[in-house]
Chain A
Amino acid sequence: MSIADKPASRQTKRLHDGMIKSRKTRLEDLAIAAVCFLLMLMCVLPMLHVLASSLSSAEYLVRNEVFIWPKGWNFEAYKTVLTTEKYVRSLGWTAILTVMCTLLSISLTICAAYPLTYSNLKGGKFINFLFLFTMYFSAGTIPSYLLLSRMHMLNTPYALIFPNCISVFNVIIMRSFFYSVPDSLREAAEIDGASPIRVLVQIYLPLSLPVIATLSLFYAVGRWNGFSDALMYLKHKDAEKYWPIQLLLYNVIKNSTQTTEQAAQEGFFANGVSKTIQMATVMFATVPILLVYPWLQRYFVTGVTIGAVKG
């Protein structure tokens, strides 16, 4: 799993390609590729359906005639979402929140991970234990809730920012990556009189950009997709303005499915309109992530691997 293995595997690939493949092997290869194609379809089709639904007009949606190609093309649903105050505010707020939380989380993760790579740091082992212990034993939902209540954080935006701003798992990934930076670099800098912080800023951080990108993605996805903390901590009516998009979407959909029977009696059309709007909202809530993650794939694969091996 180290860098040293990579040339070897490339070599075998060349070796495999170099060999004359039998007809049977080639057929098998095609069959495997076909199965993979089916799996890909399974992942993509639901999203295509959502996209098509959001672009279709309501009457086709109600008659269930939309599969993966829009019928009655229009952008009304997107227009409605972008002109409805609660959607726009929630999307904007979630975006701001995600950026803030990601910056805070990644900074704190670096602060937590870097000192632990100094093996002669006094108390380092204890601090390490302090961090890791919380991965295996946590106080639970209610104690955390009561603490936030006592700290008067409930129904404030702080309840979405602070309680989960460091993930131990990500600290481990970061630490493992820091470990892989050669000690000689640090020693050389220290001989030149560089302080630990300077070593961090000038040597470790530039070398760790891939893992910083990965962990930022993890934190950002976690916050953007975060739902349960908002559900539990933002109960008060006044806190609705801090609802992130996931909670808003959940409530919109829950309310609409509860009134389906009602809609069936009062005419489907209104329900169809709300469905296209829901689907447009789903698109808004997913597209930002779907646009970002493929570019970081190379990095997060390493990130996940490091975390798993050293965890």
Chain B
Amino acid sequence: MRRYWSLYLLLLLPIAFFIIFRYTPMAYILLAFKKNNILVPPWKVDWVKNNGLDWFIKAFRDRGFITSLRNTIFLNLLDLFIGMPMPIIMALLLNELAYPKYKRVTQTVLYLPHFLSWVIISSITLRLFATNDGIINKLMGTSIPFMGDEGYWRGTYIFLGIWKECGWNTIIYLAALTGISPELYEAAEVDGAGRWKKIWHVTLPGIRSTIIVLLIMNLGHILGSEFDRPFTLSTKLVEGASKTISIFVYERGINGQQYALSTAVGLFQSVVCVIFLLMSNTLAKRFGERGIW
């Protein structure tokens, strides 16, 4: 063991990082149960009434929070049902592509949007999707308020999410596809299976466990909320649909200095995320899948 001292030396800085920037902030979670005072350390502040749960009660009586909670869940469900199948379909499509060089080029191009930031994407979108003089509307000869109506905005939001990450998310499915034994395809061909039959009976079952693992992760994040995506895509006209929990926390906490309330909201979000993750993982295991632990 003595000769491993150097390994501990290597670990010193990473451990320091995790303790300082990941575990120390957890002390401030106490603030969720205390009066809004950040001038003294949170353990010295008085507890709030209702057994320290006052901020949680206030949050759930706050219309702004309820709206952001509803928006978060709604947008995430749309992402789950519409966004999640897309990379699977795209991976199947790429898998059927018969020209290897062309396939490589296609993949490179489809990964491109993943490397753009939401600031960039929103700045392009605001131009292309503008109601009156946007190119999309001009080409279609319509004036659809893609960014100016709550319903259409949700559609745009989901579409852009797919546009950005669909190609990137195929990577993992394509990797799973290479793990399928070629003998299965040969056997299917001998049995007279065509393209569709092979996809249905060989390819899809071959990536089932990958799909389930990703489903678990996505279910775990049903209350999680990205910040950049809704924040940069939001416009004044659609705030009722675009305000998610992350934006609520930012506006009330950092801009409004309601630290205790927004810490409580953040804690609620984190705890629900963990619970959902554990539940969906257990569920997957009950169905005989590997799960993520």
Contact = CB atoms under 8 A, between A and B. Distances in A.
Contacts of B269: 140
A275 B134 CA distance: 13
Interface string A104-122: 0000110110110010111
Interface stretch (A32-40, A69-77, A83-91, A180-188): A32-40
Interface stretch (B56-64, B66-74, B150-158, B177-185): B177-185
Interface string B32-73: 000000100000000000000000000000000000000000
Given A141-B262, A142-B266, A111 B13 contact: yes
B8 interface: yes
A143 B120 contact: no
A235 B253 CA distance: 13
A36 B95 CA distance: 11
A293 B292 CA distance: 29
A293 B182 contact: no
Contacts of B253: 141-142, 145
B254 interface: yes
B98 A29 contact: yes
B254 A228 contact: no
Nearest to B259: A142
B263 A140 contact: yes
Given A8-B182, A143-B26, A145-B254, A118 B7 contact: yes
A130 B15 contact: yes
A141 B102 CA distance: 44
Contacts of B26: 139, 143
**Which secondary structure dominates chain A's binding surface?**
helix
A237 B11 CA distance: 38
B215 interface: no
Given A43-B109, A115-B8, A146-B31, A137 B274 contact: yes
B10 A111 contact: yes
B14 interface: yes
B206 to A, nearest CB: 11
B104 to A, nearest CB: 8
Given A43-B113, A196-B7, A140 B267 contact: yes
B106 A227 contact: no
Interface in B247-293: 249-250, 253-254, 259, 262-263, 266-267, 269-270, 273-274, 277, 292
Contacts of B94: 36
Given A227-B119, A246-B117, A1 B98 contact: no
Interface string B144-177: 0000000000000000000100010001101110
A36 to B, nearest CB: 5
Contacts of A49: 124, 128, 135
A140 B8 contact: no
A230 to B, nearest CB: 10
B18 A166 contact: yes
A290 B115 contact: yes
A225 B117 contact: yes
A140 B30 CA distance: 12
Interface string A251-271: 001000100000000000000
Contacts of B98: 16, 29, 32-33
B96 A32 contact: yes
Interface size class of A (residues with CB under 8 A): 35 or more
Given A64-B133, A228-B228, A140 B18 contact: no
Nearest to A258: B236
Nearest to A224: B117
Contacts of B179: 1, 5
A203 interface: no
A100 interface: no
A202 interface: no
A67 interface: yes
5 contacts: A43-B112, A140-B263, A142-B262, A225-B116, A227-B228
Interface of B: 1, 3-4, 6-8, 10-11, 13-15, 17-18, 21-29, 31, 38, 90, 93-94, 96-100, 102-103, 105-113, 115-120, 122-124, 126-128, 133, 135, 138, 163, 167, 171-172, 174-176, 178-179, 181-182, 185-186, 195, 210, 213, 227-228, 231-232, 235, 246, 249-250, 253-254, 259, 262-263, 266-267, 269-270, 273-274, 277, 292
Given A141-B266, A143-B263, A227-B232, 19 more contacts: A5-B179, A8-B181, A15-B186, A36-B97, A37-B106, A40-B105, A131-B18, A134-B18, A136-B277, A139-B25, A141-B253, A141-B262, A142-B254, A144-B25, A162-B17, A165-B17, A196-B4, A246-B120, A286-B120
Interface of A: 1, 5-6, 8-9, 11-13, 15-16, 25, 28-29, 32-33, 35-37, 39-40, 42-44, 46-47, 49-50, 53, 64, 67, 108-109, 111-112, 114-115, 118, 120-122, 127, 130-131, 134, 136-147, 149, 162-166, 171, 195-197, 200, 221, 224-228, 231-232, 235, 246-247, 249-250, 253, 257, 275, 278, 282, 285-286, 289-290, 293-294, 297, 300-301, 304-305, 308-309, 311
